[in-house]
Amino acid sequence: MPSAQGRRSSEVSIGQYLINRLQDYGIQDVFGIPGDYVLAFYSMMEESPLNVVGCTREDCAGFAADAYARLNGLGALCITYCVGGLSVCNSVAGAFAEKSPVVVISGAPGLNERHNNPLLHHKVREFWTQMEVFEKLCIAGTELKDPLTAFSEIERVLDAADRFKRPVYIEIPRDMVHVVPPTAHGYQRPHVEVEQDALTEAVREAHARLSQAKKPVIVAGVEIHRFGLEDQVLELAEQAQIPISATMLGKSVIRETHPLCVGLYEGAMGREEVTRFVEESDCVLLLGTFMTDINLGIYTANLDLKKCIYVTSEQLQISHHFYHGIPLGDFVSGLIASRPTPERRTIPESLKGHAEQPFELQPNQPLQTSRMMKVINGHLRKDNIVIADIGDALFAATELVVHESADFLSPAYYTSMGFATPATLGACFAKPDQRVLAICGDGAFQMTGNELSTIIRNGFSPILIILDNHGYGTERYLHDGQWEYNEIHPWNYAKLPEVYGGGRGYLVATEGEFAEALEQAWADTSCVQIIQAKLSEGDASTTMLRLAERLGQRVSSQT
C-alpha cells in the first residue's frame, strides 16, 4: 500500500486528503464531467497536480478510466450526483467484471441541504439511492459524511481497489469537501492470513503433477497482468520449459513473439493447432484465467478437469481438490521455488513464437477484416498499444501479434460496445510515449466516438480504424435473416476531422488503399489518424463466424 506518511496533518481537508492519496497511488489524471454537486472538489483538483480530463459523456469517462487503470495500475473518474453517477454505471460494471481498479468519485447534495427530505435536483428516491446502486458494482464504497472517519474511510476504500483489483466508490457531500477533521484517524490495512500449510500442500501437489507431465502447458489469464505477475509466470515457464498459451481476455499477458508462446486458446473458436495442443496436454496450469463463455469459445473448450490446476486470486483447485486462503502470487512464487521438472515438450513449428504465414498484398481486392490484420501485423512494434472494441474488431484482432506484455486492451468478457474510442483516450494519458492503435466497429463508434474530440483537444495522435459494414455485424450472424434492426445510418467517418477541427481522415475500400493509408497514418504522429475501412459486403473473420454459429444456436433456442 502506498505510504500516507506526511499526509495526516490536521490542516488537511477531506477533499485534499483524497487528492493526496490518489497521487500516492500513482494516479496523475482523473476523467469525468463536472456538475454543481462536485464543483468544489473539481476546483480543488484543478489547483492540485492532478490533471482533470473533461470528457464528452460520463460513460466515456468510465471507459477511459478503465483503460488507464489497466495500464497504470489504478484509475479514477469524478462525476456529479445521479445524472452523472448513474450514467457511468455500465462502464463501472465492466471494470468490476474484468477486474480493473477504477476509483469512482461522486459529488452529492450537502448534508445540511437534506433536512426534511427536500426534492433537490438530480435526486432519485432517497439521498442514498446512488450509493446503494454502486454497492452492487464495486468491491467497496463509502460516503464521506463523518469528519472523524473520513480519512480512514478513504484509506479503506483505496486499499480495497489496490488489493482486489476491482472498482470502488467514494461519495462526497459538497459541504464536506473543505471540512478539516479535528483529528486524523489512521488506517491499518487488514492482515490477510495465508494458510501456510495449505500453500505448502498445494505447491507440493502441483509440483508433483507438473514433474510427472509429459505434455504440460500454461494457460495464462488476465489476472496475471492485473496483479503484476507477468515476470514470475514467464520465469516459471522458462525455468521448467513449459509452453504458454493465453485466453482472449488475457491476450498479451506475455509477449506473443516469445519462443514458448503458442498463441491464444479459444476452444473451438480458435486456431485448430492451438486448440489441439492445449487439449492434448496431460497437465494444464490455468493461471489467473477467467473461465468465461467467450474465453472458452462459448464453452466449446474441451479441458479435462482431472488434468487441470486452476489458480486465480479467488480460488485454487487441483483436479477435484480445493485449497483456500492462498493468494495467486504466493502460489506462483512457491511453484517457482519448488522447481518442477516436467518432460520438455516439443512445440510445433507452426506455433513457435506465434509464427506468421507469408502474406502477399492483393492491392485491388476488396477489404476483408482478417487480411487487414495481416497488414497491421507488419507495423506493430513493442511500443504500440492495441485496443479492440467488441465484435469483429476483437475477434479479428486476436490474430495480431503483440510484442510486449500488457499492450492489448479489450472488454473481452463484459463485451460492452463503445469501449475502444474512450479507452484510447485513457491509454494515451496512461502511456503518452506509446502509439495507440484502436480498432472499432462502426456501430460501436457511433455510441462513443465523440470522445475523439477530447483526444484531439489534448493533442494525442492515435490511429483509429473504423470497420465500416453499416451496422452490427456480429448480430447479423447470431440470428437468421437480414433484420433491419442491425442496420445503422452511414457516416462519412473519414471526414470527421473537419467536424472535430483536427486529425486526418482516410477512406479506403481495397487492400492496397488500406495498406497505403496505414503507412501514411503510421508515419504521421502530428494528429489523430482516422481510417474508414469499407468492408466487403458480408465479410467476417473466421473466429467471429465460429463464435456466431455457437452463440446463434443459443439465441435461436431461446426464441
Whether residue 377 is found in the same domain as residue 460? yes
Q: How far is CA 486 from each of CA 3, 226, 325, 482, 546, rounded to the nearest angstrom?
A: 51, 35, 47, 8, 19
What was the pLDDT predicted at 32? 97
550 and 409 in one domain? yes
Count of domains forming the chain: 3
Tell me, what's the pLDDT at 238?
95
- For 125, phi and psi rounded to 5 degrees? 60, -95
Looking at residue 496, its pLDDT comes to 96
- 112-116, 215-219, 263-267: range with highest mean pLDDT: 215-219
State residue 8's pLDDT score: 47
**CA 7 – CA 374 distance, rounded (Å):** 51
Q: Does residue 244 or residue 481 have the better pLDDT?
A: 244
Going by the DSSP 8-state scheme, the letter that residue 267 receives in this structure is G
Q: How far apart (Å, rounded) are the C-alpha atoms in residues 106 and 67?
A: 19
Contacting residues for 80 by C-beta, under 8 A, at least 6 apart? 33, 34, 35, 36, 37, 38, 106, 107, 122
CATH of residue 309's domain is: 3.40.50.1220
Which stretches does DSSP call E strand in 15-139?
29-32, 51-54, 75-79, 102-108
Q: Are residues 499 and 374 in the same domain?
A: yes
pLDDT at residue number 553: 56
- Would you say residue 357 lies in a domain? no
> Please, are residues 380 and 386 in contact by the beta-carbon 8 Å criterion?
yes
The residues near 6 (Cβ < 8 Å, ≥ 6 apart) are none
Tally of CB atoms within 10 A around 334: 18
For residue 3, being part of any structural domain is answered with no
| 54 in the same domain as 88 | yes
- Residue 475 has a pLDDT of 60
Do the domain assignments include residue 184? Answer: no
- Given pLDDT bands bounded at 50, 70 and 90, which one contains residue 541? confident
| pLDDT at residue number 275 | 85
Same domain for 125 and 35, yes or no, is yes
- Residue the block writes with cell 522447481: 339
**pLDDT of amino acid 556:** 52
Grid coordinates belonging to 466: 473504423
Integer angstrom CA distances of residue 476 from 482, 485, 486, 555: 7, 9, 7, 12
pLDDT at 37: 87
Q: Are residues 239 and 149 in the same domain?
A: no
Looking at residue 477, its pLDDT comes to 60
252: left (phi over 0), alpha (psi -120 to 50) or beta: left
Query: What are the C-alpha distances in Å from 277 to residues 218, 243, 347, 483?
Result: 11, 10, 9, 39
pLDDT at 173: 95
**482 and 395 fall within a common domain:** yes
Place of cell 493509408: 517
- Is residue 284 assigned to a domain? yes
Query: Of 458, 460, 452, 448, which is closest to residue 57 (Cα–Cα)?
Result: 448
Partnered with residue 384 across adjacent β-strands are 435
Q: Are 373 and 347 in contact (CB under 8 A)?
A: no
> What pLDDT does 6 receive?
45
How much is the mean pLDDT over the chain?
87
Q: What is the CATH number of the domain that holds 541?
A: 3.40.50.970
pLDDT beyond 60 at 298: no
Highest mean pLDDT (candidates 49-53, 81-85, 303-307):
49-53
pLDDT at 200 over 70: yes
Q: pTM for the full model?
A: 0.90
**242 and 292 share one domain:** yes
Give all strands (DSSP E) within 226-348, no chain letters: 244-246, 261-264, 283-287, 308-311, 316-318, 321-323
* Domain end marker among 138, 173, 208: 173
Confidence of residue 297 (pLDDT cuts 50, 70, 90): very low
Euclidean distance between CA atoms 544 and 270, whole angstroms: 10
d(CA 143, CA 105): 10
What number is the average pLDDT over the span 336-341? 96
Average pLDDT value for residue range 340-351: 90
> In this model, does residue 525 exceed pLDDT 80?
yes
Tens digits of residue pLDDT in 225-237: 999 999 999 999 9
Residue 286, SS3 per DSSP = strand
Q: How confident is the model at residue 292 (pLDDT cuts 50, 70, 90)?
A: low
pLDDT over 70 (residue 193): yes
In order of 249, 371, 419, 423, the CA distances from 388 in angstroms are: 11, 16, 8, 9
Percent of the chain clearing pLDDT 70 (strictly above): 88
The rounded distance, in Å, linking the Cα atoms of 344 and 271 is 23
Is the pLDDT at 479 greater than 70, yes or no?
no
- Region label for 281, one of left (φ > 0), alpha (ψ between -120 and 50) or beta (otherwise): beta
Residue 43 domain flag: yes
Confidence of residue 558 (pLDDT cuts 50, 70, 90): low
| Degrees, nearest 5: CA angle 433-530-76 | 50
Share of the chain above pLDDT 90, in %: 61
H/E stretch holding 492? none
Do residues 127 and 108 lie in contact, with contact meaning Cβ atoms separated by under 8 Å?
yes
Q: Is residue 179 part of a domain?
A: no
Look at residue 23 and tell me if it is in a domain.
Answer: yes
Inform me whether the pLDDT recorded for 122 exceeds 80: no
Q: How confident is the model at residue 242 (pLDDT cuts 50, 70, 90)?
A: very high
**Residue 178 domain flag:** no
> Which residues, 6 or more positions from 9, have their beta carbon under 8 angstroms from its beta carbon?
184
Alpha-carbon gap, residue 320 to 298, rounded angstroms: 23
pLDDT over threshold 60, residue 505: yes
Question: Which position has the grid cell 475502444?
Answer: 420
How far is C-alpha 319 from the geometric centre of its chain's CA atoms? 29
CB 290 within 8 A of CB 284: no
Tell me: do 431 and 528 sit in the same domain: yes
Domain that holds residue 32: 14-173
Which amino acid, residue 205? Answer: E
User: At residue 357, does pLDDT exceed 70?
Assistant: no
Do 386 and 312 reside in the same domain of the chain? no
At residue 251, the pLDDT reads 86
Domain boundary among 109, 141, 173: 173
Q: What is the mean pLDDT of residues 11-22?
A: 95
* 375 and 452 together in one domain: yes
Q: Does one domain contain both 268 and 390?
A: no
- Given a cut of 60, is residue 354 above it in pLDDT? no
